[in-house]
Structure 1
Amino acid sequence: MRRDDRDDPFDDIFNEIERMMEGMGGHIDAADAGFGDDAHVSVYETDEQIRVVADLPGVDRDGLRIKCDGRHVTISASTSTSEYEERIELPGRVDEHSASASFNNGVLEITLDRVDSSANIDLS
């Protein structure tokens, strides 16, 4: 809920209500989840592959789950005190069965092979 910036005698009250409502939203932000401002996801692409790199400080390999549906990669991570989940839209369609992943010192790297976006159809 956003309001305009006009002077209003109830500004303090509305600001406090907005703060409380945003706190009830249930959105898990990487900074709020205990991963700090260091949690970061980058996507790199070539003609043959798409690579997703995520910095997940404080996460152990056992607390990590990765899913791919061919268009999105979902990374779920948990520690003893927090949980983090992010769904990343990929810049192209991938073969989810070709995925390989490595996790070293809090850095997750996922490599996926691209799939051709269309197929040639022969006329008979």
Structure 2
Amino acid sequence: MNNDRDDHDPIDDILREIERVMNEMMGDDVHIDRSGSAGFGSDLHLDVFEADDQLRVVADLPGVEKDAIDLRCDGDVLTVAAASDRRDYEERIRLPATVDEHSASATYNNGVLEVTFDRAGDSADIDL
């Protein structure tokens, strides 16, 4: 007896539901493959540290060559894109404060990326 239900894998239903919920929460197109790992940026470990006048983002990018890292910032969102032989990373991080993107400095050592920004100054008063 071989019907269509015998070929059904309940894990597929679970993965589809996780994918639907993630897409709903993130507003992005996240794809989960049969191994359970999500697409870009799924296991990028990242921390954001705030100080009075600076913001620092630290990310683990194991196995990535320095030349394969692309960083972009518009003052509010930092985009980290990187590729290695084993996977691709692309993460958009909404920064907790507006930064001066032109003040950015970055280092990459032993798989650890560190990006530092100066906080953007207060809005300027306009005299009439």
Q: TM-score, normalised by structure 1?
A: 0.71
Write out aligned runs for 1:30-69 (5 A): 32=38, 39-69=44-74
Pair 1:78 & 2:74 matched: no
How has the CA–CA distance of structure 1 residues 87 and 18 changed in structure 2, closer, same or farther, with 3 Å as cutoff? same
- Residue equivalent to 1:88: 93
How far the C-alpha of 1:35 sits from its partner, in A, is 8.6
Q: TM-score, normalised by structure 2?
A: 0.69
Structure 2: 5+ residue stretches without partners: 1-7, 24-28
How has the CA–CA distance of structure 1 residues 61 and 100 changed in structure 2, closer, same or farther, with 3 Å as cutoff? same
Q: Quick one: distance in 1 between partners of 2:56 and 2:46?
A: 10
Q: Match for 1:16 among 8, 12, 29?
A: 12
- Residue equivalent to 2:113: 108
How has the CA–CA distance of structure 1 residues 15 and 105 changed in structure 2, closer, same or farther, with 3 Å as cutoff? closer
**RMSD over aligned Cα, in angstroms?**
3.1
Pair 1:27 & 2:30 matched: yes
Structure 1: 5+ residue stretches without partners: 1-11
How has the CA–CA distance of structure 1 residues 113 and 34 changed in structure 2, closer, same or farther, with 3 Å as cutoff? closer
Secondary structure of 2:48's counterpart equals strand
